[in-house]
Amino acid sequence: MNRRMSMLCLILVAAAGMLFATSAPAAEVDFDIANHGVWYATGFPISSYPVFEVYTIDEVAPNPFGITRMRVYLKANYVTREIWDGRDIYLTDDGDALFTRFKGHLAYADVPQTLTQEFVGGTGIFAGVRGTATHVCYPEFTSPVHGPKTCESHGTLLLADLKSKMVPMVSTEGDLVSLEVQHVETEAWGLPPLPFLAQKVAHIGEGDHLGLYGNSECRLLDLNSMGFFGFFTRTAAGGDTMHGYYEGSLSPPGGDPQAVDMQVWITGGTGRFVNASGKQTGAGLWWSDGREEITLEGAISSVGSSKK
């Protein structure tokens, strides 16, 4: 509650300063975030050279937004150093999510990495958010595929204060299209194996507001805790997309199938789902070969009718 009050005060101060100067519909606030965590690279150099993927698990320093943790996914080329698919999610303890995309180039060892984040949506206080930030990271290379990092972001958020009616949303997923699996490998460098499994999976789903859709996911599974997190894109038959983030857990360890409990944050999209915002919770079954039987229930902002 204190974090929400702090956020409300921050928005009111920004809005008051703009009241007589402009009629802009968004409140502009500073975004200054420090985070630290661990990065894991997969698919390199075992099978996908020169393309590999990186997942990071971060904690976030205290800030006015109440953000406490961050998860990152990126796809890059080791030779050219180009990052062409980068996604960040910032999460609060109150359950709100802030979504960003980024591109750029990987830094070499002992060189700070500077990227530009583009804020493209979220949930709760971050619904419809826009803005940019400069993100500077200092990665350490415990091995070529694993190590700690510290980062800072400095920029501006435009908080849209969207006024959208929330409507129910139910969807089911499970018909498998494809599955790719990679372990986070460290044995080649004489280091103990890491308990992480990276998966890229595609399913067919069906749900309210989307109809029959394709769901493409990239996720990281911790084989010790059986917790997982990932990013998704749902594509409707007409080509409109819905994107977001999900996390959850599996039980029991080693079972097949395993029971799955998860949460999904809908943070935006294209076409009818521009500025979409919502959240679902789900449960069902998850097989090791990629098949799923999951029902997700929740709510989404009234599709195609977001108002500022």
Q: Which of 219, 7, 218, 154 lies closest to 92 in space, CA to CA?
A: 7
Tell me the three state secondary structure of residue 204.
strand
Tell me, yes or no, whether 128 and 205 share the same domain: no
Q: How confident is the model at residue 106 (pLDDT cuts 50, 70, 90)?
A: confident
Three-class DSSP category at 240: coil
Which of 111, 136, 159 finishes a domain?
159
Query: Is there a single domain that holds both residue 188 and residue 138?
Result: no
Whether residue 170 sits in one domain with residue 153: no
Instruction: Band the pLDDT of 36: cuts 50, 70, 90.
Output: very high
Domain end, chosen from 159, 183, 203, is at: 159
pLDDT score at 23: 34
Per the prediction, the chain carries an average pLDDT of 87
pLDDT of residue 46: 55
* pLDDT for position 43: 75
Q: What are residue 36's DSSP bridge partners?
A: 59, 150
pTM of the model as a whole: 0.88
Contact 262, 247 (CB under 8 A): yes
DSSP string spanning 67-85? EEEEEEEEEEETTT-EEEE
* 132 and 15 in a common domain: yes
CA distances from 171 to 129, 166, 210 (A): 25, 16, 9
Write down the H helix ranges in the chain: 2-18
136 and 257 co-located in one domain: no
201 shares its domain with 278: yes
In this prediction, residue 15 has a pLDDT band, given cuts at 50, 70 and 90, of: very low
> Which residues constitute the domain of residue 253?
166-301
Q: Report whether pLDDT(16) > 50.
A: no
The region that residue 140 occupies, defined by phi over 0 for left and psi between -120 and 50 for alpha, beta otherwise, is: beta
Residues 252 and 296 occupy one common structural domain: yes
Q: Are residues 7 and 146 in the same domain?
A: yes
| DSSP E strand boundaries for the chain | 27-42, 51-60, 67-77, 82-92, 97-105, 113-122, 130-139, 146-159, 166-183, 196-207, 211-222, 227-236, 241-251, 258-269, 278-286, 292-301
Mean pLDDT lowest among 25-29, 43-47, 81-85, 187-191: 43-47
pLDDT digits (tens, 9 = 90+) for 61-81: 999 999 999 999 999 998 898
Final residue of a domain: which of 99, 125, 159? 159
Q: Is residue 306 part of a domain?
A: no
**pLDDT at res. 160:** 86
Q: Is residue 175 part of a domain?
A: yes
pLDDT of residue 12: 38
Cis before 50? omega within 30: yes
Is the model's pLDDT at 44 over the cut of 80? Answer: no
Write the CATH number for 37: 2.40.350
Residue 259 within any structural domain of the chain: yes
Q: Let me know whether 45 and 153 are in one domain.
A: yes
- pLDDT confidence tier of residue 228, bands split at 50, 70 and 90: very high
Percent share of the chain, pLDDT over 70: 89
Give domain status of residue 307, yes or no. Answer: no
Shared domain for 145 and 178, answered yes or no, is no
Residues 76 and 175 grouped into a single domain: no
Sequence-distant (6+) residues with CB within 8 A of 79 are 50
**Could you give the number of structural domains in the chain?**
2
Residue 181 lies in a domain: yes
Q: Which residue has the higher pLDDT, 42 or 72?
A: 72
Residues 142 and 171 in one domain: no
Residue 304 has a pLDDT of 57
